[in-house]
Amino acid sequence: MAHIKNKQILIGISGGIAAYKSVELVRILVRNGARVKVCMTRSACEFITPLTLQAVSGNRVHTELLDPDAEAAMGHIELARWADLILLAPATANFMAKLAHGIADDLLSSICLATAAPVHLAPAMNRLMWANQATQANYKLLQTRGFVIHGPAEGEQACGETGAGRMLEAQQLADLLAASLAEKNTAIAGKTVLITAGPTREAIDPVRFISNRSSGKMGYAVAKAAKAAGAEVILLSGPVALESPAGVKRYLVESAKEMHQKALQLARQADIFIATAAVSDYSPAHVYEQKIKKSTDTLTLQLHYNPDILFDVSHAYPDLFCVGFAAETQDLLKHAEAKLQRKKLDMIVANPVGKNKGFEKDTNQLEILWQGGHLSLPENTKEKLAIDLIQTISRVLYSE
């Protein structure tokens, strides 16, 4: 976490149960050499005392907008200028709403409005508060305005329910901050990166299709990480329930054939191609024009092999740096190594799928192989793994 050293990080705490995790977060950041100041909302002070945060950060904790002790009585401007990065952890539903609508009625919200520093959020709330249309609309608005949002994760919640809304763990947040504070990598900055993501849908009739469990989360995280590293990012996506990351040019397609055609066309302007999409290997040989009626006990579908996007792109553009993904249920490394050679790739990223692994989940584990190298990345959030993958691509490209 060398990138954290001497960085000035403002931790903003709003009023949620997860406020207790922020103590550990501040400890980790301070231990790694960051200069940390803490600002708390009034409700946050009901969950955890400013005294605790003062003890772990080594600095006075700020809570009041109208503070006569602040220089020229303008604490919000002082702190807004001081921060290299602001992380709101936890970010309540209420605080996200205020941020999305430019409300500045306390110290922390005023700082967020007055800063030029990147603002990161770690939302934490009950699953229904998170799923609420108002919160989701605010989340999307904040994303399009360039706020960086980490999580929330799914799992058991303090209220006894289970679902999406848990704040990421302190160590995960510290790792994500470290990665985003890393210097822009010269090997990636300014390069055009084409990324495919999500599943494809192969029509059987007008209402049915063959698809797979890919959520697109890994590919979208890679797109975000490449953008943050300074690349121009083109995202070619199958049908997913995800918003396009800020600053990324997205094209939406449905079938493997559409993705194949568009990838070959877009690859012409790319320097790096990362194929994370879970493309259907087969599609029905015949697409019924009308909905198939339930008339017989069995129905036989004949499937035809789809064109291989990665193989065709890597052969059509030999100078393109091509990274493939291999989702495997067994013999991960053996299959990945074979795919690396067969498709003439520069790098392959293997991840285990099936039995509650990989698809649809927020975490993953990766084995990255390239000609002459191998890196194992243990289970972590897809966001963190994506950042590590982009750094690995940069290093390999740089050493070429």
Ligand X SMILES: Cc1cc2nc3c(=O)[nH]c(=O)nc-3n(C[C@H](O)[C@H](O)[C@H](O)COP(=O)(O)O)c2cc1C
Among residues 95, 139, 273, 321, which is the contact residue for ligand X, using CB under 6 A? 95
Strands 373-381 and 202-203: unpaired
Residue 163 beta carbon to ligand X: minimum distance, rounded to whole angstroms: 13
The pattern of x and - marking residues 331 through 360 that bind ligand X according to CB under 6 A reads ------------------------------
Residue closer to ligand X by CB (options 13, 174) is 13
- Residue 112 bears catalytic tag: no
Query: Which residues have a Cβ under 8 Å from the Cβ of 169 and sit 6 or more positions away?
Result: 21
Among residues 15, 151, 245, 358, which is the contact residue for ligand X, using CB under 6 A? 15
Residue closer to ligand X by CB (options 105, 297) is 105
Residues 44 and 33: their CA atoms lie apart, in Å, by: 25
User: Which of 39, 112, 159, 322 does the annotation list as catalytic?
Assistant: 159
Among residues 3, 24, 30, 43, which is the contact residue for ligand X, using CB under 6 A? 43
SS3 call for 162: strand
Under a CB-based contact definition with an 8 Å cutoff, are residues 266 and 234 in contact?
yes
Residue closer to ligand X by CB (options 63, 196) is 63
Q: Looking at beta carbons, which residue is closest to ligand X?
A: 16
Residue closer to ligand X by CB (options 17, 242) is 17
Tokens for 107, please give them: 């110290």
Under a CB-based contact definition with an 8 Å cutoff, are residues 88 and 14 in contact?
yes
Residue 264 beta carbon to ligand X: minimum distance, rounded to whole angstroms: 46
Among residues 125, 256, 366, 396, which is the contact residue for ligand X, using CB under 6 A? 125
| CA nearest neighbour of 12 among 2, 31, 25 | 25
| CA nearest neighbour of 125 among 104, 86, 85, 97 | 97
Q: Which range in 15-23, 60-68, 228-236, 259-267 contacts ligand X by CB under 6 A?
A: 15-23
Q: Which range in 27-35, 40-48, 72-80, 351-359 contacts ligand X by CB under 6 A?
A: 40-48
Residue closer to ligand X by CB (options 92, 314) is 92
Among residues 8, 17, 30, 163, which is the contact residue for ligand X, using CB under 6 A? 17
Tokens for 259, please give them: 């993705």
CA dist 218 to 223, 366, 387, Å? 9, 11, 11
Looking at the DSSP bridge assignments, the partners of residue 195 are: 235, 274
Residues 382 and 358: their CA atoms lie apart, in Å, by: 9
Among residues 10, 14, 227, 309, which is the contact residue for ligand X, using CB under 6 A? 14
Residues 367 and 350: their CA atoms lie apart, in Å, by: 5
Residue closer to ligand X by CB (options 139, 359) is 139
Task: Give the binding-site size for ligand X (rule: CB under 6 A).
Answer: 15
Residue 149: how many CA atoms within 13 Å on its side-chain side? 27
Residue 124 lies near ligand X (rule: CB under 6 A)? yes
Under a CB-based contact definition with an 8 Å cutoff, are residues 332 and 352 in contact?
yes
Plot region of 248 (φ>0 → left; ψ -120 to 50 → alpha; else → beta)? beta
Under a CB-based contact definition with an 8 Å cutoff, are residues 189 and 195 in contact?
no
Residue 21 beta carbon to ligand X: minimum distance, rounded to whole angstroms: 11
DSSP 82-117: H-SEEEEEEE-HHHHHHHHTT---SHHHHHHHH--S
Residue 22 lies near ligand X (rule: CB under 6 A)? no
Residue closer to ligand X by CB (options 1, 11) is 11
Residue closer to ligand X by CB (options 129, 347) is 129
Residue at token pair 């070619």:
236
Cα 88 to chain centroid, rounded: 17
Residues 398 and 400: their CA atoms lie apart, in Å, by: 6
Residue 88 beta carbon to ligand X: minimum distance, rounded to whole angstroms: 9
Among residues 36, 44, 61, 313, which is the contact residue for ligand X, using CB under 6 A? 44
Window 54 to 93, contacts with ligand X (CB under 6 A): 92-93
Q: Which range in 39-47, 70-78, 257-265, 328-336 contacts ligand X by CB under 6 A?
A: 39-47
Window 128 to 157, contacts with ligand X (CB under 6 A): 129
Report the interface residues with ligand X, using CB under 6 A.
14-18, 41, 43-44, 92-95, 124-125, 129
Active-site residue list: 159
